[in-house]
Structure 1
């Protein structure tokens, strides 16, 4: 717990020593990816559910926020008849019914968390009630994500298609606007990341968390003990999706647009890599893995030295981590702490026998003599 608090404190102190608005925006993006990694770690690392479609719920949350912020720009676009600009270009004459509730920012905030959670619960109900596990569950989540992405691209007149939803208003609460390049937005992301991290930690430390870990290690045995395994899986799958949806909303605020690439296969597979590098059984490790990997990736891709070869360098780093740190960065740090932290194995001492057992042994020895 203390390590978690210390890392979060460092995150909050960064704006005090960094005044560059562009870098603050970049680091805010990294924190969003850290939250997305925490969400996957919660389902994969703690419950053994490998979700290859985690970007689906991330993208749904992103679009929920984008729809609300887009509707705030309509008065700016004269002659649009109260419609977003891309709808006018696609000859839409009336605002679709499912856009109307997003005039309310409160509804958008709730929808960005609850819609991904409900989608995950529905998908999980079919999978886990049917006892679909392992690679088959991973394939189903990946297929569901691709279907949602294709649906968003196909319905261009309602979603903006390949271009996504752009030209958004700033996110504001009670008249206070969050500029994407201001420290206020960075702190907003940091606060949400901290809350999500400690919520996930509380779940893992609870009785529910212990049952989920048992399901991860030996699902059939937990089922034989009388627990509803499917219900526990649906619960953690939905919580994971809700956190991913929140991360998606924050990403739209930071990036100032929503795109179907947010629901793409590359992003979804990248999240799996981040969690694997950081350590899938450690929430803090997964978060740091995402921040470190995306940070190194950004630095290499912007460097003139590695401009054409940064992907090879990243691939080499992944191979090294997998070979020498199979439990990720968190596992490697734990191993080093145990080796150099003075922890020594205590020799086993035989437990004293009860008085009655000693008397029986003495009686048995006398009879043998």
Structure 2
């Protein structure tokens, strides 16, 4: 298998039409997916009037990532990746249309929402795992950092404007039409993916050996473990994510209860993280030209620790906003470096499994 990017090395990543197709399609879907993400918890609340029901849906969304990630990685490594992307897109379209029909005929239930939500999240995870394994096949190795930075910049920007825009559209169109609009954006993504030429990733050794699922899992873990830099960053990311989750869980309560922040202040605090992420995606390419990867990783860790320290010692909401800025910057900075390193150092036929170990 020979990566497509090896045949041509354009001056800028935006001259690579295959990257442009995938990046454009996923950005549009990211934007419209806020309609689904906003509508689903509201529908659940209106049906149940229970915070527990909404929390259960959040827990269900995490199941594919925690328990199915490695199996999805094995599937991605074993099967033609373009077919996997197409399959995951069409399954998401069908699920959204089923939800829209259930709402249209008023036969929706909590359990149908749970089932559809779980299935949709699973195929969404399948798509993104495949997407990140396809990227090094269509982008030159020297431009992976630029590609990941561009994707992260657009993702963070969309996440800043998406919720507000989704709220306005949801009020204007209603639940059913909003879900159909999300499905329509996925169909547009299918058109883009269909036009992308992706080299076949199927490994002859994999099929000849007929390796078991357990052996495939061990191979993915071994590949991650033997690459010391990747393993170290994985462990560091684990602790950073734990710290961010713990602080994020009480952030809004602390700001409202202890710092007397208003609702508008909360908006500024949360937006500061997005601004930090956008800045990180903007400057990372320049920094990689001046410093080696180890120093950049240490820099990201230092910023994460500094941001958490600010949160711990804060005495006013605008100081909290500064802490969230540094945390948002470090989170995006570390994620871009982490993704790029995995794509650079991992053989393509095993990248799906290595991507699954996202602790």
Higher percent of residues as helix:
2
The two structures have a TM-score, normalised by structure 1, of 0.30
Q: Which structure: larger Rg? A: 1
The two structures have a TM-score, normalised by structure 2, of 0.31
